Amino acid sequence: MSETSLKPLLVSGSTARRLLDVANTKYWELVKAGAIETVNVGGRKMVVYSSLERVAQHGARKAAA
């Protein structure tokens, strides 16, 4: 498997917003609803990439369930 085919485990919030093409307010709504999973790494809040895939594939309501 080449490095270019690897998916990231974590991305920054700004990258997550760009990938989902949502505004900051909508991003935080999704985080608070549990649809977007975050973890703290050092002093940064990082987004679990697989949670972005769930939101993109199933919508926020099903992803949070």
Domain ranges of the chain: 7-64
CB 10 within 8 A of CB 38: no
Residue with tokens 């485990």: 9
Judge whether residue 1 has pLDDT over 60.
Answer: no
Summarised one tens digit per residue, pLDDT across range 19-55 is: 999 999 999 999 999 999 999 999 999 999 999 999 9
Furthest CA-CA distance within the chain:
37
The DSSP bridge partners found for residue 40 are: 45
What pLDDT was estimated at residue 38? 98
**54 vs 2: which has the higher pLDDT:** 54
Q: How would residue 64 be classed by pLDDT, with cut points 50, 70 and 90?
A: low
Q: Is the pTM of this model over 0.85?
A: no
